[in-house]
Amino acid sequence: MENFVIISGCSSGGKSTLLCELQQRGFATIDEPGRRIVVEELTRNGNALPWVDAVAFARHAIEVSLADREGADACARWVFFDRGLIDAAAAALEHLTGEPILRSLGLIHRYNKNVFLAPPWPEIYVHDRERRHGLAEAVAEYARQLDVYPPLAYDIQILPKVSVAERADWILTSLAR
């Protein structure tokens, strides 16, 4: 779907804040599956957490990402996804297990060819209840994303380190081209 746009990148790189800005501008947004799963698992004392059972977490993230795509408004002008199916399959499951799931999922369930990645931004990096890994792990995950998208025929657009409003403007201008 050309109107389904992935915003991904380094943890704590400003993605969620950017999606809030885009939502305030009237665009459809889908919150990050991983954070929703962590909140749910912590609430019910579950084990599908990246620091308890990373494989179960990754499998659940794929399920949630598929459901998000299914439930997204295919007629909306733009639908912005905070991470998504490819991140769940590549950055998590394929990296952890070696299962060759990425290529099949990535070719069947397409997004806009432009993928927007938030680069590592140490000055704004924070830990919280759902984000327990450090900056080094976040940077390693980001490096995997840089490798995963191009073979699936996606064009990576690195988000500038500017204000949230300027980032939103930059994305919308990029998509208008």
The correct CATH number of 4-176 out of 3.40.50.1010, 3.40.605.10, 3.40.50.300, 3.30.420.10 is 3.40.50.300
pLDDT digits (tens, 9 = 90+) for 3-32: 999 999 877 778 889 999 999 999 999 998
| pLDDT score for 89 | 73
Given a contact cutoff of 8 angstroms between Cβ atoms, the answer to whether 85 and 72 are in contact is no
| pLDDT score for 122 | 61
Closest CA to 5 of 81, 74, 90: 81
pLDDT digits (tens, 9 = 90+) for 124-171: 656 555 555 566 777 788 888 888 889 888 999 999 999 999 999 999
Torsion angle of C-alpha atoms 52, 109, 147, 161, degrees rounded to 10: -90
Given a contact cutoff of 8 angstroms between Cβ atoms, the answer to whether 58 and 34 are in contact is no
Provide the residue ranges of all domains of the chain, joining segments of one domain with +. 4-176
pLDDT digits (tens, 9 = 90+) for 46-87: 988 888 888 888 889 888 998 999 899 888 899 999 988 888
Tokens representing 47 are: 């084990």
